[in-house]
Amino acid sequence: MFGSTTSVGNWCTRVAPSLFSPFYLPNLNPNPLCLLSTLITPNPTTLSLPLTARRFSFSPVSPMDDEHQATEQEYAFHSDLLHQFTAIPSVDKAWLFNSHTGLASQAMFCVSQPNLLTNKRKKSIVSASLLRQSDATVAFHWAPFPIELTGVSAMVPSPSASKLLIVRNPESEGPCRFEIWSSSQLEKEFHVPQSKHGSVYIDGWFEGISWNLNETCIAYVAEEPAPAKPTFNDLGGYQKGSSSDKDGGTWKAQGEWEEEWGETYAGKRQPALFVIDITSGEVQAVKGIDKSLSVGQVVWAPAVEGSVQYLVFVGWSFETRKLGIKYCYNRPCALYAVKAPYHESKANETETDSTEDVQAVNLTQTISSAFFPRFSPDGKFLVFVSARSSVDSGAHSATDSLHRIDWPKDMKLYQSSKIHEVIPVVLFAEDGSFPGLYCSNILSDPWLSDGHTLVIASVWHSNQVLLSINVLSGEILRITPANSNFSWSLLTLDGNNILAVSSSPVDVPQIKYGAIVKNTTNDKEWSWSDVSNPILKCSDKVRSSISSLTSSIMKISVKDASESLTKGASQPYEAIFVSSQTKKSDACDPLIVVLHGGPHSVLLSRFSRPLAYLSSVGYSLLIVNYRGSIGFGEEALQSLPGKVGSQDVNDVLTAIDHVIDLGLASPSKIAVLGGSHGGFLTTHLIGQAPEKFVAAAARNPVCNLALMVGTTDIPDWCYVETYGTKGRDKFTEAPSAADLTLFYSKSPISHLSKAKTPTLFLLGAQDLRVPISTGLQYARALREKGVPTKVIVFPNDVHGIERPQSDFESYLNIAIWFNKYCK
């Protein structure tokens, strides 16, 4: 249901040295990088290949299949070119380690790229030294080769950068491995058995791994131990006590089924909070947390000498059912504080603590949502993001707000702590002004040197920008260039400087270094420079293919806006148009209309490897951010619930007519592509406007809400998007006949009788969000009508269809399918 900010089939986050001296770094501040080549590869002599990997033959579909009748040459050309696009690496994370002199720093970049042979993403570390020049510029000196990360689940440097935690989750029922590395060696290694806890969460949402300030303990979130299951002997007799699965003559029953958090969390147990003492290796479960809470995003509260240390975490509760939580910001949550277990001196533990004293304290009872807790460097206040507009309306994602709690010096925590609003929910923004906060992550250390200004990435219309926010005054500054088609991702801070990645639909990602400069009025401005690097390289063929492309962001006026619409819902929405600058004739290239999921998501004006590939093989793209997308203010977003299948469909048709009227597209050569809710729109469009489209492709589409509501992990979504905000209170696990009738009427399948567009379906068999049954039902019904239909099912993929081979096969088939009907 939720589309990607980078490709149409995935979810959005609101949007993937020399041989003997692999880290050529000057002798700077001691840190744990020196032995990184050893700690991240089981065999220290095994190095990864350079990032420009060798090409290989990959033919996921028989090139002689009568269904598509594509030639071997066509498949060979497209598979080779698509592989070159998908091989472009991504920078996932970065860390900077400063020296004592302040003249140089060391950097680590975590880089990933798909490996089609193993069907996994291959990860590596690329390192560099940063030298500050006399003219205030910075020079990057890169290690000659990357080092492959093998078996590493998480890497977390300590606050002083003198230690590095490596977490290795087991692939089966083995123990979790915790490794503590110094600048010269592996100092400690601890194996935590499954009886203590399961895998450490590294999902980006519940995930939380935090060092305490004196670097003696680490708090983290992991799966709680598996509950004991009934055991029987070979005669069916009940076996008392526990036994392992390997014990001969016994077998374990399933036991009671437990609720899970839906899509991508199948088989994952409840997230719980633990602390490990890195001196002794002792692991303790944190006490005082109600069993009904799923915990995540833990951080240590500021330490006060002689006082108990506290942990602050996010807690999600549920009543009778855990509804899907992946990218569903409408799940109520709160910040809690709880006493950390004693490790340093057990003799000082008091035996008189009452149950009330150890119970976790809810710090945000007056607000329905609180997450991403971050303490200021001086420990005087705690900042957090809230999705209260999402929780209160029922929309899966909406406009965020930012808040601050002043942290008590006496460490006396109160549930009635005053919450200061730093950034409110923005309902409507005039042209050019701040449209509201849309935040999918915050750095673990997001602060500039003044200690009260944080840097954050946020969606601003069809771009992602970087903002500086003064959490005391509420001042917001857009620190990346305005009036640009580029989007920005934040990597890390270097004092008052920033490392980021910038790209556009036709420009491959580029690492940027930002520095504060003073302008003529003595105000602060940011200067951005390109960082020459060996990471984000592409082949000559890719560079040549995209060199002739151009992109722009179009404003699309709302058609037939009624007086009943709010001001925000009446304002223009946007579409990103990508096309060739060099026309070989007066004829327009075929147009692919690209639609994001959600619907409260966005497709950003940034580089998408599969979409760039489609552009490079002779298609123009119209990427529509219809009303209801994030990044345009709360009124525009909330105009869509209750009107899905009509308002969003009309917005897309209006955008198509706009480019046709400008002479940028031919009305006879239009295809449509969408995933999840984008697939909902794709199948709606071919039914409501059957003469408009010559081909369609849908990835895990929502085709029948009446069927989906009983099988999805987010049935409340069906109610809210169908009924509007009142659907939040109407939601029930037992839909009425009236509910089902309305769901059907809002669904693409209700327009099936008019559909005649050849359609490709790409379905993940393990999808819990939009189960495969709804897409298969629609595809079979199209076939029954005699409409050309092709279905590819990926047996092991979930909603996103993100596994490398599946993603590759998807877009290869999309290109071949569109070529068959558009060219």
What tens digit of pLDDT does each residue of 646-670 get?
Answer: 999 999 999 999 999 999 999 999 9
What's the full length of the chain, in residues?
823
CA distances from 577 to 510, 544, 665 (A): 21, 20, 11
SS (HEC) of 139-191 = EEEECCCCEEECCCCEEEECCCCCCEEEEECCCCCCCEEEEEECCCCEEEEEE
Q: Report which residue type is found at 420.
A: H
Q: Which residue of the set 343, 452, 658, 799 is catalytic?
A: 799
Cis before residue 599, ω within 30 degrees of 0?
A: yes
Question: What order do you get walking across the sheet with 361-362 strand by strand?
Answer: 294-300, 310-316, 333-339, 361-362
Nearest to 4 by CA among 771, 560, 803, 802: 802
Pick left, alpha or beta for residue 139 (phi over 0 → left; psi -120 to 50 → alpha; otherwise beta): beta
First to last CA, the chain: 30
Q: Which residues contact 373 (CB under 8 A, 6 or more apart)?
A: 297, 299, 312, 313, 314, 335, 382, 383, 384
Q: Is residue 355 predicted with pLDDT exceeding 60?
A: no
pLDDT (mean) for 86-115: 89
**pLDDT band, residue 102 (cuts 50/70/90):** low
Active site annotation includes 547: no
Model-level pTM? 0.90
Residue 352 pLDDT > 50, yes or no? no
Q: What backbone phi and psi angles, to 5 degrees, belong to 615?
A: -65, -40
**Active-site annotation holder among 767, 797, 806, 810:** 767
> Which whole number is the average pLDDT over 265-290?
96
- Rounded Cα distance, 530 and 801, in Å: 33
CA 352 vs. chain centroid, Å, equals 45
From 639, 676, 747, 810, active-site residue: 676
Greater model confidence, 251 or 85: 85
The two structure tokens encoding residue 764: 């993940």
Dist CA 421 CA 398 (whole Å) = 17
- Give the rounded percent of residues in the chain with a pLDDT score beyond 90: 76
Q: What pLDDT is stored for residue 482 in this prediction? A: 87
User: Cα–Cα distances in Å, from 278 out to 163, 299, 504?
Assistant: 11, 17, 44
Assign 105 a pLDDT band (cuts: 50, 70, 90): confident
Question: Does the pLDDT value for residue 354 go beyond 80?
Answer: no
- Cα distance between residue 742 and residue 142, in whole Å: 59
Is 767 one of the annotated active-site residues of the chain?
yes
Residue type, 252: K
Residue at 657: amino acid letter? D
Q: In angstroms, how far is CA 575 from the centroid of its own chain? A: 22
In 428-464, which positions are buried (b, 16+ CB within 10 angstroms) versus exposed (e)? bbeeeebbbbbbbbbbbebbbeeebbbbbbbbbbbbb
pLDDT in tens, 410-449: 777 766 679 999 999 999 988 789 999 999 999 999 999 9
- Which of the four pLDDT bands, split at 50, 70 and 90, describes residue 122? very high
pLDDT tops 70 at residue 222: yes
Per-residue pLDDT band for 24 (boundaries 50, 70, 90) equals very low
Output Rg (C-alpha) for the chain, integer angstroms: 27
Mark whether 403 is an active-site residue. no
Q: Is 309 helix (H, G, I), strand (E, B) or coil?
A: coil
Give the C-alpha distances (Å, rounded to integers) separating 647 from 5, 170, 627. Answer: 21, 48, 8
DSSP letter at 227?
Answer: P
* Residue 103: DSSP 8-state: S
Q: Is the pLDDT of residue 74 over 80?
A: yes
If you average pLDDT over each of 242-246, 249-253, 803-807, which comes out highest? 803-807
* pLDDT value, residue 522: 58
Distance CA 494, CA 684 (A): 48
Give the residue among 361, 272, 258, 256 at the shortest CA–CA distance from 308: 361
**Distance between CA 448 and CA 495 in Å, rounded?**
6
Q: Sorting pLDDT into bands at 50, 70 and 90, what band is 53?
A: very low
- Indicate if the pLDDT at residue 480 is higher than 80: yes
pLDDT (mean) for 258-269: 94
Give the DSSP H/E element, type plus range, for residue 647: helix 647-661
Q: Which pLDDT belongs to residue 520?
A: 57
427 vs 306: CA distance, rounded Å? 46
Q: How far is CA 642 from CA 61, 599, 778, in A?
A: 40, 12, 23
Mean pLDDT for all residues in the chain: 88
25-35 residue pLDDT tens: 233 333 434 44
Contact between 746 and 641 under an 8 Å Cβ cutoff? The reply is no
Task: Give the highest mean pLDDT range of 48-57, 81-90, 475-484.
Answer: 81-90
Give bridge partners of residue 494 from the DSSP assignment: 497
The per-residue pLDDT for range 747-790, each reduced to its tens digit, is 999 999 999 999 999 999 999 999 999 999 999 999 999 999 99
Confidence of residue 4 (pLDDT cuts 50, 70, 90): very low
Contact 85, 804 (CB under 8 A): no
CA gap 739, 737 in Å, rounded: 5
CB 314 within 8 A of CB 337: no
CB-CB neighbours of 616 under 10 Å: 22
Dump pLDDT digits (tens) for 141-157: 999 999 999 999 999 99
Please report which confidence band the pLDDT of residue 451 belongs to, taking 50, 70 and 90 as the band edges.
very high
pLDDT of 51 above 50? no
